[in-house]
């Protein structure tokens, strides 16, 4: 093989390899982009910027609850079995440890005789307290708004 043929062959091989590399790179980036689309599509849009509108959707849609809960979620409750007396317990729960619904729907609240009290703590924080008279049932949900409202803490003071 003479030098000219060698260079042409080498050039053709290098060109073919670079085309294959480019095609592979394009396919990989295209595949990565396509792989990310379902994850992006599954991210729910903020149901409402105003807290009342957000709370209505959050209470009545488990999928909204799943999408707008911070993880780990700060969970606080009273351990009635603790000795010598019941004591507060605080845990950080990841998504796999959460049991939905975290908040009963409007209908469940009515059916169970729960009362809801809302307290806004500035423009970007709110606390919801659910209680049932004469039972000791008290559940508080703490929300904060960044891009959207998120449940970041839940406090069950029921005994």
Q: Tokens for 106?
A: 């409007």
Give yes or no: residues 16 and 83 share one domain. Answer: no
* pTM attached to this predicted model: 0.71
The pLDDT assigned to 11 comes to 40
Give yes or no: residues 118 and 62 share one domain. Answer: yes
Which residues pair with residue 89 across a beta bridge? 77
Q: What is the mean pLDDT of residues 83-97?
A: 95
Give yes or no: residues 75 and 149 share one domain. Answer: yes
The pLDDT assigned to 100 comes to 97
- The answer for 18, left when phi > 0, alpha when psi is -120 to 50, beta otherwise, is alpha
Number of domains, the chain: 2
Give yes or no: residues 124 and 63 share one domain. Answer: yes
Give yes or no: residues 29 and 77 share one domain. Answer: no
Q: Does residue 101 register a pLDDT over 60?
A: yes
- Which range has the worst mean pLDDT, 9-13, 53-57, 113-117? 9-13
Q: Does residue 71 register a pLDDT over 60?
A: yes
Give yes or no: residues 33 and 56 share one domain. Answer: no
Q: Which domain holds residue 32?
A: 1-43
Radius of gyration of the chain (CA): 27
């Amino acid at each position: 093989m003479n030098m000219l043929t060698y260079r042409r062959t080498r050039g053709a091989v290098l060109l073919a390899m670079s085309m294959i590399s480019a095609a592979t790179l394009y396919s990989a980036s295209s595949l990565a982009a396509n792989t990310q689309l379902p994850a992006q599509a599954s991210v729910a849009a903020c149901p409402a910027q105003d807290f009342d509108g957000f709370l209505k959707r959050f209470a009545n849609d488990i999928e909204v609850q799943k999408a707008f809960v911070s993880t780990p979620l700060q969970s606080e409750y009273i351990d009635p079995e603790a000795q010598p007396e019941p004591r507060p317990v605080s845990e950080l729960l990841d998504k796999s440890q959460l049991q939905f619904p975290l908040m009963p729907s409007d209908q469940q609240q009515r059916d169970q005789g729960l009362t809801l009290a809302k307290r806004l703590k500035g423009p970007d924080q709110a606390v919801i307290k659910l209680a049932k008279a004469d039972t000791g049932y008290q559940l508080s949900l703490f929300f904060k708004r960044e891009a959207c409202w998120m449940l970041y803490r839940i406090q069950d003071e029921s005994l």
